[in-house]
Structure 1
Amino acid sequence: MLGIAIAATVAAVITVPAAGLLGYRQLRRTAHAKRLRITSPHGIEESGFVRIGGIDQWVTIRGEDRRNPVILELHGGPGASNLIFASRTRAWERHFTVVRWDMRGAGKTFARGGPDGQGAMSLPRLERDALEVTQHIRARLGVDKVVLLGCSFGSFVGLRLARNHPELYCAYVGTDQNINAGGRDHTAYRALLDRLGAADKRKELAAVTTMGADRTAWGVEDWSRYNKHSVGSDPLTFDTIKTVVVGSLLSSPLHSLRELPAYTKAMSFSERVAPESSTIDEWAEGTTFAIPFFIFQGERDVITPPEPVRRFFDDVTAPVKNLALIQDASHFASFRHPDRFLDLMLTKVRPLLTGQPITW
């Protein structure tokens, strides 16, 4: 749901003179490529297209030891691949095998087939795709269950999988967690109005006020406008988009220069799925989970605020549950502070999976 805001930031950044930008990009890509090499004897480093849901979808598997627990990451957006963050999360791969999947309408999957090659775009379709990817991972890595990591928009899919398929997953971890209440919760909307009012942004305030608080009545353009104002009205979120998201995109050694336009086009294309999420009521879908349940959220997240997350978390019944707030973090908390996120994964999640004390 942040596609327009990210695309606008990319456009602003690339106004830097081309020669200087390309030179800087090459230096960063070279350094990141060196850091990403996996040479350990039990390691795995695979990437390629897998036939999922009738189309070719990009799947990357990385880790220093195949014996480690496996994480399936469900990225956000919609349409915003997390593959660009590989160098930022390199340390995760010492303790987990990390599977990153470019969903239909995202990243390399979108670049492969283009707008006409993505097939049906809906939340149920993404959920079915995720189940196929899960089965592919289980077969490829020889594991019974994997950890679900739901990020932002991907957390809608993640919660449904965690509720309905405990036989496939050993834990659920949500970050930038979306919690919708069937249109009843207006926490983020009211906070945006307050920020715009305090900054005397009268034009923007009028536009958001006209949209109204009922997200179920919004169209795709309304979602784009709302998220653009949300990012622009919060300095920490804007800085995160600029330095963490756009910085990672421009310096990713896993993406060629020709792939960069497709990355932002994918987000614009996939925004058509966003309105579908507004009708979800997580309480109605269920607060009982048969697997350990964790949420690690940015303390200052204005896109998916901690308040609704905490209300849902308090109502969750699970074998084990834990909620932690990451300080000095807004949206994209796990990528702004990947070391803090890893510490939470190692102290809260991994011991449950291995039955062993933490080893660094």
Structure 2
Amino acid sequence: MENVLYLVRGLVISILILIVIIICIIFIARRINANRIKITTENGMQQNLYVEIGKIKQYLQIRGKDKNNPIILFLHGGPGNPNAYIAPYYQKTLEKSFTFVNWDQRGSGRTFFENPHMNYKTDISPEIMINDIDEIISYLSNRFGQKKIILMGHSWGTVLGTQYCLKYPDKISAYIGIGQSINAMKGEELAFKTAIDMAQSDSKIEYINNLQDTWNKISRQKNVNKEFMMDFIKMRKLIAQYLTCSDEMSPIKTMWLYFTSSEMSLRDLKFLLKNSNLDNRFKYGVMLDEYVFFHFDINEYPKNYQVPVYFISGDSDCIPPHIMIEEYFNSITAPDKKMFLIKKAGHLPFLDNPKDFCEVVEEILKGRLNIN
């Protein structure tokens, strides 16, 4: 008995020592990263602030080595997946030539915690958030003396971004859509069919039956509920077995990126954990999912853009498959347009392949638009 207690005590002590070591490593990594991304130029800008937008306080992160450089407003995905705290990881190279503004949208991240009494049934909608974008752009234009800004959206952010560009083209110098949203359910169906075809070539009968059964449950739904989301998450995991490339950033590396980022605060961590829980996702009203899945179809909007339009997609992105984006791209008109496919990348090309991502953005803004 004493030997067992001795072994248990030794195991507990070893685990505690390991935890302390991991915490120390994370702390050191955060300090190193803080120095690595620190902006020290005389005319630079590194600011985290709250601005009154849409009658509530909303969080903005502003970073750039010269505040007179052109401004890029980044619209994060999700809905409800802010990424300002990891943005310096992939935008650091671009901060030499552009000032990046990352915004935690209402109901998301630090903006969420700053407005604890918000009514999430009445105070969150695409229309309200498009008005938020307009107020943010007015704020940025007045503060930095720029008539137009560059709008960059990712995934859900492209839903807002494309609508804003069509409504307020005079305020935008260019639009960049990353993982451009087209029609969510049609995109999921195409990814499902592609995975099924690949699995049939491998004669994976059990996999095919499991994926087919999951898709049947999803396709019968007409609104977003917990059952739908659980089946949807299951289907995404199944599809990923065939459609995810090995170069996409792994969940472990992603979590390491989160925890070692000097920009991640306790509020960011709390929201990350909160939003990953389905009960909390529904409780706190991040219900724009229903709009994305069942109401948004970009083909129902005008296709004659009055601003230059550029799409960036990972070659293994299945949310949506880039073939859908290419079809839509070919159907639109714009003063200038081009689609870029980043190799060895999925739905998050700026994380999977940040080097190529930055090169593409520079080609768009410096090479095609001569924005310096």
Instruction: Indicate the SS of the match to 1:105.
Output: coil
| Displacement of 1:213 | 3.2
The residue that corresponds to 1:59 in the other structure is: 60
The residue that corresponds to 2:140 in the other structure is: 137
The residue that corresponds to 2:336 in the other structure is: 320
| Displacement of 1:117 | 6.4
Matched, 1:249 2:258: yes
1:120-199 alignment runs, 5 A limit: 120-180=123-183, 186-193=189-196
1:334-345 alignment runs, 5 A limit: 334-345=350-361
- Letter aligned with residue 292 of structure 2: S
Query: After superposition, what is the alpha-carbon deviation per residue over 1:244-284, rounded to whole angstroms, capped at 9, x for unaligned?
Result: 54232222211234641222324634541111123222112
After superposing the two structures, state which structure 1 stretch, 275-284 or 263-272, moved more: 263-272
Structure 1 338/263 Cα, relative in aligned 2: closer, same or farther at 3 Å?
same
Structure 1 20/302 Cα, relative in aligned 2: closer, same or farther at 3 Å?
farther
- Counterpart among 270, 273, 281 of residue 288 in structure 2: 273
- Letter aligned with residue 236 of structure 2: S
Structure 1 runs (4+) deviating above 3 angstroms are 114-119, 181-185, 191-204, 212-221, 235-239, 351-356
Matched residue count: 341
User: Contact (CA 8 Å) 1:193, 1:208: kept in 2 or not?
Assistant: no
Instruction: Indicate the SS of the match to 2:61.
Output: strand
What is the rounded CA distance, in whole Å, between the counterparts of 1:57 and 1:354 in structure 2? Answer: 32
The residue that corresponds to 2:97 in the other structure is: 95
The residue that corresponds to 2:114 in the other structure is: 112
The residue that corresponds to 2:219 in the other structure is: 213
Identity level (%): 25
Structure 1 30/355 Cα, relative in aligned 2: closer, same or farther at 3 Å?
closer
| Displacement of 1:136 | 1.2
Matched, 1:74 2:75: yes
- Letter aligned with residue 136 of structure 1: Y
Structure 1 261/302 Cα, relative in aligned 2: closer, same or farther at 3 Å?
same
What is the rounded CA distance, in whole Å, between the counterparts of 2:18 and 2:287 in structure 1? Answer: 34
User: Contact (CA 8 Å) 1:176, 1:298: kept in 2 or not?
Assistant: yes
Q: Which runs of 5+ in 2 are unaligned?
A: 1-16
What is the rounded CA distance, in whole Å, between the counterparts of 2:19 and 2:76 in structure 1? Answer: 30
More RCO (CA 8 Å, sep 6+):
1
| Displacement of 1:187 | 1.1
Structure 1 163/227 Cα, relative in aligned 2: closer, same or farther at 3 Å?
farther
Instruction: Indicate the SS of the match to 2:327.
Output: helix
Instruction: Indicate the SS of the match to 2:324.
Output: helix
User: Contact (CA 8 Å) 2:150, 2:172: kept in 1 or not?
Assistant: yes
The residue that corresponds to 2:6 in the other structure is: none
Structure 1 316/138 Cα, relative in aligned 2: closer, same or farther at 3 Å?
same
What is the rounded CA distance, in whole Å, between the counterparts of 2:272 and 2:296 in structure 1? Answer: 27
Instruction: Indicate the SS of the match to 2:310.
Output: strand
User: Contact (CA 8 Å) 1:195, 1:233: kept in 2 or not?
Assistant: no
- TM-score, length-normalised on structure 1? 0.85
What is the rounded CA distance, in whole Å, between the counterparts of 1:270 and 1:124 in structure 2? Answer: 16
The residue that corresponds to 2:46 in the other structure is: 45
- TM-score, length-normalised on structure 2? 0.82
What is the rounded CA distance, in whole Å, between the counterparts of 2:271 and 2:29 in structure 1? Answer: 21
Q: Which runs of 5+ in 1 are unaligned?
A: 1-15
Instruction: Indicate the SS of the match to 1:255.
Output: coil
Structure 1 140/241 Cα, relative in aligned 2: closer, same or farther at 3 Å?
farther
User: Contact (CA 8 Å) 1:64, 1:97: kept in 2 or not?
Assistant: yes
What is the rounded CA distance, in whole Å, between the counterparts of 1:66 and 1:323 in structure 2? Answer: 29
After superposing the two structures, state which structure 1 stretch, 252-261 or 206-215, moved more: 206-215
What is the rounded CA distance, in whole Å, between the counterparts of 2:298 and 2:88 in structure 1? Answer: 33
Query: After superposition, what is the alpha-carbon deviation per residue over 1:2-46, rounded to whole angstroms, capped at 9, x for unaligned?
Result: xxxxxxxxxxxxxx9643432232122111111121111121111
Structure 1 264/135 Cα, relative in aligned 2: closer, same or farther at 3 Å?
farther
User: Contact (CA 8 Å) 2:173, 2:307: kept in 1 or not?
Assistant: yes
After superposing the two structures, state which structure 1 stretch, 21-30 or 272-281, moved more: 21-30
| Displacement of 1:338 | 1.6
RMSD, aligned α-carbons = 2.8
Structure 1 251/314 Cα, relative in aligned 2: closer, same or farther at 3 Å?
same
User: Contact (CA 8 Å) 1:72, 1:147: kept in 2 or not?
Assistant: yes
| Displacement of 1:231 | 4.0
Matched, 1:286 2:307: no
Matched, 1:260 2:260: no
1:293-312 alignment runs, 5 A limit: 293-312=309-328
User: Contact (CA 8 Å) 2:192, 2:239: kept in 1 or not?
Assistant: no
